[in-house]
Structure 1
Amino acid sequence: MAASMAGGFPVFLRMVAEGKVLSSKDAESAFEAIMGGDVSEVQLAAFLTALHVRGETPEELLGAVRAVRRHMLKLSHVPPHAIDVCGTGGDGLKTLNVSTATAFVLAGLGVDVAKHGGRALSSRTGATDVLEALGIPADGNIEKQEERLLTQHLAFLAAPLHHPAMKVAGSVRKALGFRTLFNLLGPLCNPAGVRRQLVGVFSSQWCAPVARVLGELGGVSCWAVQGETDEGPIDELTLAGPTKITAWEKGKLLQLDITPEMAGLPSMPVSELRGGDAVENAQCMKALFEGEKGCYRDTVLLNAAVALHVAGRGSILTEGRVSSQALKENLAMAMHSLESGLALGALTQAQRGVSPLSSGDAALPILS
């Protein structure tokens, strides 16, 4: 790869410590060394901290993604329109698990969801934590994951089981306690190789780079979103303010905005979405699927409405803009999943782990 690799990882560490920017090839080489186990925890902590302080670049992200994808344990048999919905974490708002709940809403409608996620590192409760509290343990059996995706429309891909090379990064990230480049890497390295993704990011400056990287690496419809709340940015669509979006659609980047009012939803402060530990968040999610209304429900509905577009199940774009009417129609589909019990059924089947969903006629046609 890059000539500077001749000096090994210390060369890259020295470069970022001096405030220099790595090319995508240098970043790929640096992360290849990390994934290969050639970097100590002390070196990795220094490297990630230097990147964080200076500010990571899109080229560094692209190189890192290429290296990490080479080392992940992949699924082979994946429906072509499978989608992932996940967030980067790192926003510090300690909210309820939105993307995980959204995955159940989508699966209830027959949308194939390869949900990637991990434990809490820079946040309080990760997807894997809340799933375990719901009685859905992490499972690294790839054949079973493929079967669940094909029969139940939903597979949970726990990051530690598919990214064993990242093991050293987990303890370092937890010790550092702030968001790092790995917050961005996880959502961009889905083990199912999905080409449709709704990714929440912790800062609007990363919306365009994330969408572009996903598109350049084969994405079909990839939306990077960051909500603006009364307490700062959030890594999902929000009711607390406008959501800034960069969407990769048909090989082009679109800059979009969505407000709760466009979907016919009331504006609510992010404090209404505050979560707790894994057990508390799991109880709130179950209550959501059993009919509880409020900010959590409406936030999940908004995210699911946009995810339906990304999955090709209901376009919300007209001449490069979000159609309020189409967004409301998608929201109605998501609401049907909740009110009919389909989302709860998806949860129940995931807890059983074997039987296919009986969503039958609820499965939506693929439009694009």
Structure 2
Amino acid sequence: MVEPTQYEEHPFAPYVRILGKGKNGTRPFTEQEAFDSFSMILAGQVEPVQLGAYMMLMRVKEETREELVGFVRAVRNAIQIPADAPRVDLDWSSYAGKRRVLPWYLLSTLLLAQNGVRTFMHGASGHTVGRIYTRDVLGALGIAPCTSIDEACERMATENFAYLDLQYLCPRLYEIIELRPLMGLRSPVHTVARSTNPFNAPYVMQGIFHPGYRPVHQEAAMLLGEANVAVIKGEGGEIERNPDSPCLVQRVRNGVLEEEEWPAMFARRHTREDHLDVGRLGRFWRGESEEEYGEAAVIGTAAIALHLMKKAPTPEAATALAREMWQSRNRDRMQVAA
């Protein structure tokens, strides 16, 4: 009698099978399956080949809002935030990097911080060739990026702003993002990382590059119980309003889905830059140079945050408030000193 082959299936194999069972057999994860499978990934309980298959199958399929909710819950469980962490007002993700325009959004966040908005910025660096990233630009401006959650807490308590790279916020998630050059494609972790909001800030700004991801972020945020979130197709994928074009802001506002289009701030488009000289950011902040596009980007981006946070009742009022903040900024503040 010939005995049938016996083997023990890996505990993660069923999740790969759900995603890859063929054209008619595959299906999305439930929220719980997404949570369980991503928890195993973050705990290092999967083989490299399984991780690669999982990520690329998910990339082809594209994540649903329920899957995104499960993934985010798993990541939040993996991040240890101190019990005495300071209250954070605004969560700001920065994962895309810039290629054609300077990162003016950094001045928006520093402007908000100078006006009492405690902002936590998190991101990842270097995963896409030809882009400059927040961590490196901040360093060039004399603002040291944090290297631990504890340091980020201290910085926010004293300066109302901290940037922490994903490498220190969630090392396992950072390792997966760093697979992009190997895979040749982004993976769902870019979407997940943007949505993490580890300090449970009551207001969240998110920037995306592909418009199709906007409602996924918006709807997942609502399912996660986040009452006030703004999602925009930002310049280069960062949270930065392009003042040359209308900006559709899709929001969760007081727990309700809504959207609003902010008009272009200029009648003509500006020429893109051949070289990104980050020193211009500091010179512009100090008033040593003028930047028509940059000023509009800084004010316009800050205005979206101010409107989200209910500090102004209309987009027009929010823009006027942001402009007033910009004109009265502390130009000598050492945060933008290089």
TM-score by length of 2: 0.84
User: Contact 1:71 / 1:165 at 8 angstroms: preserved in 2?
Assistant: no
**Equivalent position of 1:10 in the other structure:** 13
Greater CA drift, 148-157 or 81-90: 81-90
Question: What is the RMSD of the two structures over their aligned residues, measured on CA atoms?
Answer: 2.9
The offset of 1:88, in angstroms, is 4.9
Q: Which amino acid aligns with 2:79?
A: M
3-state DSSP of counterpart to 2:333: helix
CA distance in 2 between counterparts of 1:76 and 1:301 reads 34
Count of equivalent residues: 323
The offset of 1:204, in angstroms, is 2.3
- The runs of 5 or more residues in structure 2 that have no matched partner are 1-8
Q: CA 1:188 to 1:159, structure 2 compared with 1: closer, same or farther past 3 Å?
A: same
1:42 lines up with 2:56 in the alignment: no
**Equivalent position of 2:103 in the other structure:** 97
User: After the TM superposition, which residues 3-152 of structure 1 pair with which residues of structure 2 at under 5 Å, given as runs?
Assistant: 8-17=11-20, 18=22, 19-77=26-84, 80=87, 82-89=89-96, 94-122=100-128, 124-152=131-159
The offset of 1:75, in angstroms, is 4.6
The offset of 1:224, in angstroms, is 1.0
**Greater fraction of residues in helix:** 1
**Equivalent position of 2:279 in the other structure:** 283
Q: CA 1:27 to 1:313, structure 2 compared with 1: closer, same or farther past 3 Å?
A: same
**Equivalent position of 1:170 in the other structure:** 177
Q: Which amino acid aligns with 1:8?
A: P
Q: Which has the larger radius of gyration?
A: 2
Q: Which amino acid aligns with 1:340?
A: S
CA distance in 2 between counterparts of 1:175 and 1:235 reads 26
The offset of 1:172, in angstroms, is 1.0
- The runs of 5 or more residues in structure 1 that have no matched partner are 1-5, 317-326, 352-368
3-state DSSP of counterpart to 1:52: helix
User: Contact 2:244 / 2:270 at 8 angstroms: preserved in 1?
Assistant: yes
**Equivalent position of 1:305 in the other structure:** 303
CA distance in 2 between counterparts of 1:168 and 1:105 reads 32
User: Contact 1:302 / 1:331 at 8 angstroms: preserved in 2?
Assistant: yes
Q: CA 1:267 to 1:49, structure 2 compared with 1: closer, same or farther past 3 Å?
A: farther
The offset of 1:94, in angstroms, is 4.5
1:183 lines up with 2:175 in the alignment: no
Cα deviations by residue, 1:246-270 (Å, 9 ceiling, x for unpaired): 211111100221122xxxx214547
3-state DSSP of counterpart to 1:42: helix
User: Contact 2:230 / 2:249 at 8 angstroms: preserved in 1?
Assistant: yes
3-state DSSP of counterpart to 1:312: coil
User: Contact 1:85 / 1:102 at 8 angstroms: preserved in 2?
Assistant: no
Q: Which amino acid aligns with 1:97?
A: P
1:242 lines up with 2:246 in the alignment: yes
User: Contact 2:248 / 2:262 at 8 angstroms: preserved in 1?
Assistant: yes
Q: CA 1:296 to 1:148, structure 2 compared with 1: closer, same or farther past 3 Å?
A: same
CA distance in 1 between counterparts of 2:84 and 2:298 reads 28
The offset of 1:195, in angstroms, is 2.0
User: Contact 2:230 / 2:252 at 8 angstroms: preserved in 1?
Assistant: yes
- Larger RCO (alpha carbons 8 Å, 6+ apart): 1
User: Contact 2:227 / 2:254 at 8 angstroms: preserved in 1?
Assistant: yes
CA distance in 2 between counterparts of 1:138 and 1:87 reads 13
**Equivalent position of 1:266 in the other structure:** 266
TM-score by length of 1: 0.77
CA distance in 2 between counterparts of 1:346 and 1:78 reads 25
Q: CA 1:101 to 1:237, structure 2 compared with 1: closer, same or farther past 3 Å?
A: same
Identical-pair percentage: 23
**Equivalent position of 2:335 in the other structure:** 347
Cα deviations by residue, 1:64-89 (Å, 9 ceiling, x for unpaired): 11111111132544555610233552
1:328 lines up with 2:338 in the alignment: no
3-state DSSP of counterpart to 1:189: coil
